[in-house]
Amino acid sequence: MADQVAVNFLRTFLERHPVRHFKKGEIVIFQGEAPRNAMVVKDGIIKAYNLSVSGDEKPVAFYGADNVFPASWVYGKVPSAIYYYEAFTPEVEVYVIDRKAFVDFVKQRPELLYQELERQLLDQFGGSLRLNALQHSRASDKLVYTLHYLAMTHGKPLDKDHIEIELDLTHQDFANLTGLTRETAATELNRLKKQGVIDYGKNLPYRLSLDRLMHLLNDQFIADIQPATLAS
């Protein structure tokens, strides 16, 4: 769990900087662009993605409040953004901060450094779950393991067994996440709904039964990961 003192310290610093507003679908940073500043999410969700040679969207990650992006550029590891960064929710607000000022500020306190380490580890851990999901050959397994990834990284516990995915995903989003066609993703989601693994409807969030989902995972060590493991 991120240290609340560090969180408050960071937010006090962030509030001294200008905020930019974006609507869903607006590109915040283009792939290949050398950003002028670091950006930190104030409210909403930012989607990072790549495009295949055929123009298909390949989501990489989703970033919420207090996440800095593009982190690899902010921390001086690459000369430009390696992905597209796009507003995913209807309204997104981001702080705009000089890169050096942000990095120097984070270096001031061990709590902030540890908090950033946690964020980057969670990002890497989520990426490994995504990679594991994509390596499965069967469409059903790709979707089941992708749902597990979403539950662990973007899920809100409702009770001991149920989790609500905090991303407003469409069937096309699931297709992009899994590399399946939209039709196949919709068919597999409907099958899981009939099995009681997932529940959803028009204007309703996706809700998962963890117990039923875990029974479909073929890897004991993956199945043993609980939401608290990835809590930030």
pLDDT tens sequence across 124-165: 988 999 999 999 999 999 999 999 999 999 999 998 889 999
Contacts (Cβ under 8 Å, ≥6 apart) of 4: none
Q: What's residue 223's pLDDT?
A: 61
For 128, list phi and psi in degrees, rounded to 5. -70, -35
74/4 Cα distance (integer angstroms): 23
Q: What's residue 218's pLDDT?
A: 74
Which residues partner with 103 through β-bridges?
none
Q: What's residue 109's pLDDT?
A: 86
Architecture of domain 4-117: Sandwich (2.60)
Q: What's residue 224's pLDDT?
A: 66
Cβ burial 73-110 (10 Å sphere, 16+ → b, else e) = bbbeeeeebebbbbbbbeebebbebebeebbebbeeee
Contacts (Cβ under 8 Å, ≥6 apart) of 36: none
Residue 206's CB is within 10 A of a number of other CB atoms, namely 22
CB-based contact 60:31 (threshold 8 Å)? no
Q: What's residue 135's pLDDT?
A: 92
Written as six digits, the tokens of 52 are: 């295949």
pTM score:
0.88
Query: Which fold is adopted by the domain 136-227?
Result: Arc Repressor Mutant, subunit A (1.10.10)
Q: What's residue 220's pLDDT?
A: 63
Q: What's residue 2's pLDDT?
A: 52
What stretch(es) of the chain map to CATH 2.60.120.10?
4-117
Q: What is the mean pLDDT of each run of 10 residues along the chain (232 residues)?
A: 73 95 98 96 97 90 94 96 97 97 92 89 89 92 94 90 93 95 96 95 90 84 59 44
What stretch(es) of the chain map to CATH 1.10.10.10?
136-227
